[in-house]
Amino acid sequence: MPSPPGDGAGGAVTARSIAEIAATLPGATRVFRHFHFDFCCMLDQPLDVVAAWHETPLEEVQAALAALPTVEPRSAPRSIEPLIGHILARYHAQHRVELPPLARLAETVETRHRGHPDLPIGLAGVLAELTDALDEQMRFEEMHLFPRLRHESDGLENAFIALCERHNALEDYLCCLETVTAGQQPPDDACRRWRQLFAGTERLVDDLIRHRHLETATLADLWRDRAPRGPMH
């Protein structure tokens, strides 16, 4: 089972994946951005492995995580049906509302500031592609995975494997968002719209990581706890 939120930034946190830490510790993604950790293909790696790969002293990362303000995150439901409802309302609905205008805002910024040396060139295209890819994934969950979870207790191993593969495919978009926005850092002379855009993409990345964790870890664990065990030998 995933470690509970707020279990500190020392000791056991080094063995937790950066996806779990980012999803359960408010402010952790900003710490990871400060150390230039990428979000491409490393979300499921433990913190100590990611720090070593980036040649970053682990104790510095631990200290930065421990220094984060104590903010108790809103806990997600701990049973399948309420958790599905939470995912649909908090993530699926919100992604569909927020992504299209965010893509349009990116197009506006790219057009109005053409020629700026720090322009996030291609961001509008990345967001448009992500909108389509994410909608396809959410429809898979809504039409196939969630209905089966509501009515079946076993035989869902392949469905969760497919879910993980779909979430992993979205990691390339997370990597692009972090790269094109220079770690969500607007230039000093950025206008209000530009700063609003980067605030939106930063929130989007954080939400996508939490969404991923709730489905591939929390929801999967709840299903495993409910699934019938085979005969003991």
Domain boundaries, the chain: 11-66, 80-226
SS3 164: helix
- pTM here is 0.84
Give the pLDDT band (50/70/90) at residue 72.
low
Mean pLDDT calculated for residue range 201-225: 91
Q: Flag whether pLDDT at 71 surpasses 90.
A: no
Q: Which ranges of 10-57 does DSSP label H, i.e. alpha helix?
A: 18-24, 28-34, 47-53
CA–CA distance, 159 with 148 (Å, rounded to integer): 9
Q: Which residues pair with 46 in a beta bridge?
A: 17
CA–CA distance, 22 with 30 (Å, rounded to integer): 9
Q: Flag whether pLDDT at 116 surpasses 90.
A: yes
Mean pLDDT calculated for residue range 210-218: 91
Q: What is the pLDDT of residue 211?
A: 94
Q: Which two tokens stand for residue 69?
A: 């303000």
Give the pLDDT band (50/70/90) at residue 227.
low
Q: Flag whether pLDDT at 159 surpasses 60.
A: yes
**pLDDT tens digits along 127-154:** 999 999 999 999 999 999 999 888 876 7
C-alpha 109, offset from chain centre:
24
Mean predicted lDDT score pLDDT of the chain: 87
CA–CA distance, 168 with 180 (Å, rounded to integer): 19
Mean pLDDT calculated for residue range 64-79: 79
Percent of the chain with pLDDT over 90: 60
224 or 31, greater pLDDT: 31
79 or 111, greater pLDDT: 111
Mean pLDDT calculated for residue range 6-17: 61
CA–CA distance, 82 with 108 (Å, rounded to integer): 39
CA–CA distance, 140 with 170 (Å, rounded to integer): 14
CB atoms within 10 A of CB 15: 12
User: What is the H or E stretch that residue 67 is in?
Assistant: none
Cα of first residue to Cα of last residue in the chain, in angstroms, is 24
Q: Flag whether pLDDT at 49 surpasses 70.
A: yes
